[in-house]
Structure 1
Amino acid sequence: MKKIALLLVLITTLVGCSLDNGDRDTYTYSVLPIETYELPAAFKLGQAYTIKLSYQKPSACHIYQGIYYGKELNKRTIAIQAAVKDNQSCTSEVPPISEASFNFTATATDSYIFKIYKGKGADDKDLFEEVEIPVIQ
């Protein structure tokens, strides 16, 4: 009987609680261009490399969300992912340059082509800088 009473209290407690606080934070997500990057002149097959990136957040309200890393055959598309909390007042002060990095290991003998996101063009199309890195054995 005690177990049934405890179970009823537990169910009532869980059903009575609402996770909706009515003031949900909403975010807008964006992709930021990469200002500078460090890539080696060549990759050695099977060796790990740290690829360093620097980027500029448009405001202090932009929150780093990670590195966008797209793979298609030997092409790697790289950009910075960010989020901005909606309805948040931001100062117009631009924060300092930020840095991020990721590890890359060459697992194929063909060259790799890195497509580095550089922003939007006048026609609102994405701009990329392509860098081909050979793999040596």
Structure 2
Amino acid sequence: MSEASAFGRAPSLDDLAALAEAAFQALPPQFRRMTGEVIFRVDDFPDEEVLESLGIEDPFELTGLYQGLDLSRRSLFDPSPQPSMVFLYRRPILDEWAAHGEITLQELVAHVLVHEIGHHFGLSDAQIAAIEAE
């Protein structure tokens, strides 16, 4: 029996998208409503332009990204902004999951998803970390 058949296949982009959808649906209804029309997308890695704009050399360092104008900076008088998007990056998520064997893949995907939604709400990394610490 080969190693691949003994342990199964690595989760695909669709598998991670399904985990993200399940994590989103598990959030309280009011939180989901407040999130609004955010587009969720799963890619293997961030593209080079994203890495360069963030000053990141190793694509495994970025597990997720919020792209768009956060809710705290929007105005009714401004033209409609570009759609808000949350990106989850499969390979860095799988790498982090393998490095931290104490959490499930579903827990990690939910963590990254909620973190990026926090940015959609206008929260900084420090504010998100403080909320998580509570």
Same fold (TM over 0.5): no
User: Rg bigger for which structure?
Assistant: 1
TM-score by length of 1: 0.27
TM-score by length of 2: 0.27
More strand by proportion, 1 or 2?
A: 1
More helix by proportion, 1 or 2?
A: 2
